[in-house]
Amino acid sequence: MSSQAVEYKRFQQSESCSEEGCRAAKFYIEDGKKFCQRGHEQDGFTVTQQDEDDFLQLGKVTHKKREVHEHAAIKCKGIAAKKLYLQCIQLVLCKQCNWLVTEKNFAPEIETIVRDLWELRLKTLWLEEESNPGFFAKKRGTVSDSHSHPQLIETLSLCYLAALLLRLPISLSEVLGWASRGEILMKKVRIIPIEMRTKLPAYFYSALEMKAPLNGNHLQRKIMDLTDLYYFHFKMIFPPLNTPLLSYKHIQDLGLPVEIYPAVKRLASILDVNFSFDVLSTSIRGPLSFPEIRIICLIIIATKLSQPFDSLERIPENSSDPTILKIDWKAWFKIMHENQEKGFKKGEELNVRDTDVWNMDDKKIDQYLDWFQKSWLDERKPKISELILDHFPLQSVGSYEEEIGEIEPRFDKLIRIQEASTLQTSSSSIDHDKTKSFRPGAMYVRYRAIGDLTEEANNFYEHAASKVGVSTSFLVRAVFQMEVQIESWLTATKKKEAGETKIPQYKGR
């Protein structure tokens, strides 16, 4: 048989001709026998009966079974994606209402109010969709919304407005604290079933994640946007804040004497301050746009009038004067902040960076890891093998109140601050030159910027700013703006006495 008619095949990498010294690289099969390219018969080769289709097939071919991968969920699009996203927001809102009722002992009626507000909010979405294909176009001077769909922060705004309708003295800083500590389910996207999450488009899924710390100014703007929206579509006006209870609450939280409250009421009456939301205002929102900011500004001004931060001696008129007891601001700062060095402040964990780990003690590290476990870990479907996770079991994490232990009551702090205060001598009990002495409220100092604050003033402003969830510089501007209005009122009063003009009214923005 000529070599041209023979079909040669190459030896496999581990095979060679069985004849010693032969370096043939190919072989052929003839009459059931195997020969190398040079004609040497190969030992140990047997051909079994095969079908024509299996001719020259050497051995059985097996294929490795591939791992079965789950098919990715089909992403929703268009109106279906919007509806699914709104269902996710609604689920978070329901969880938040349940937490307020079960953990914070809110009245069960808050769930009904939030549900009604949410239904109205959904109605506005479809109204805007029908009237404008652009879905929530901006209308300058009417309703302003920077996004085409409700954001996660709106759930907090709706809870705040529901508490306002119930006339509850809830501070903005309380809502921010609940969210920052992960108690009100702002960062736990895992509560949304995975079947819903996987069908969301990327832009809707990212809207359910908190990528930055909550900001008090942002929450204020969102609350005011909703009040504008409800008024624009339904002519709905929210009631004013529960000013007496909220003012008294802030006065206690700031460690101030109760005598500050009558001064706050008097200042509010002088300026004709209202504590409602200004709806559909065409003016730019300023530092005094939010009603609670107006309350805290009045408290600060009343404090500066009766308990100034300088060391200048001011003599009260008699022993019943509210300023007869002068606060020692250094002792005040020590008493109000003595427990803050133990671990993180409320919500401070979200601002931690990788470089901060080197300066943490064991308590802070444990507190941060517990916060991370509560806020971010998804225990329902771990990606890591269960065998590995079993070696590192996670203990159950208690609530924030359990972590920080017993907190000293506010009344105890107030008593200690009063004990550290100085009892001044009134003008009726001493002989002095009235032309050279100062009365309480004299030599009042206004601070235009945060750099103008003294040490004692900065400590007080910073503590007050934390009670309303804004920065210290923002609060300084707000107080200065209200002080300018008081100065205008004083000037107008003097002119009115001379019969020149009338007293101007308060302007909120």
Amino acid at 259: E
Q: What is the pLDDT of residues 278-289, one digit of tens each?
A: 887 766 788 899
Structure confidence at residue 320 (pLDDT): 66
Position 93 pLDDT exceeds 90: yes
CA distance 110 to 116: 10
Name the phi and psi angles at 293, rounded to 5.
-65, -35
Q: Comparing 303 with 19, which gets the higher pLDDT?
A: 303
Judged by average pLDDT, the poorest of 68-82, 257-271, 479-493 is: 68-82
Alpha-carbon distance 172 to 215, whole Å? 11
Q: Which of 18-27, 41-50, 207-216 has maximum average pLDDT?
A: 18-27
Spatial distance between the Cα atoms of 116 and 119, rounded to a whole number of angstroms:
5
Q: Are 508 and 271 in contact (CB under 8 A)?
A: no
Confidence tier at 387 by pLDDT (50, 70, 90)? very low
pLDDT tier for residue 115 given thresholds of 50, 70 and 90: very high
Provide the pLDDT for residue 368. 76
pLDDT in tens, 131-188: 655 443 344 344 444 345 788 889 999 999 999 999 999 999 999 888 877 777 666 5
* pLDDT value of position 79: 86
Q: How far apart are CA 84 and CA 77, in angstroms?
A: 10
What is the pLDDT at residue 129? Answer: 63
Report CA-CA distances (Å) from 428 to 259, 307, 321, 326.
Answer: 21, 20, 11, 17
Query: How far apart (Å, rounded) are the C-alpha atoms in residues 88 and 444?
Result: 53
Determine the average pLDDT of the residues in 437-463. 87
297-340 per-position pLDDT tens digit = 999 999 999 888 887 777 777 666 777 778 889 999 998 877 65
- pLDDT band of residue 78 (cuts 50, 70, 90) is confident
Task: Tell me how far apart the alpha carbons of residues 178 and 346 are, in angstroms, rounded to a whole number.
Answer: 9
Residue 464 sits at the vertex; the CA angle it makes with 422 and 154, to the nearest 5 degrees, is 160
DSSP string, 36-101: ETTSPBPTT--PPP--GGGTT--S----PPPP-PPPPPPPP-HHHHHHHHHHHHHHHHHHHHHHHH
Give the pLDDT mean for 118-137. 70
Single out the residue of 289, 303, 290 nearest to residue 464, CA to CA: 303
- pLDDT: which is higher, 42 or 436: 42
- What's the pLDDT at 141? 40
Residue 121 pLDDT greater than 70, yes or no: yes
- pLDDT score for 403: 39
Question: pLDDT confidence of 479, banded at 50, 70, 90?
Answer: very high
Q: What is the pLDDT of residue 114?
A: 97
Specify burial of residue 133 (Cβ count, 10 A radius: 0-12, 13-18, 19+). exposed
33 or 186: whose pLDDT is higher?
A: 33
Q: Which of 64-78, 125-139, 259-273, 491-505 has the lowest mean pLDDT?
A: 125-139
Given a cut of 50, whether residue 88 has pLDDT beyond it is yes
Q: What is the mean pLDDT of the chain?
A: 78
SS3 481: helix
Task: Give the pLDDT confidence score for residue 74 in this predicted structure.
Answer: 75
Residues in the chain: 509
Say whether 314 sits in a helix, a strand or coil: strand
Distance of CA 456 to the CA centre of its chain: 29
Q: What is the DSSP letter of 34?
A: E
Q: What is the pLDDT of residue 358?
A: 81
Task: Please check the confidence at residue 204 and state whether its pLDDT lies above 80.
Answer: yes
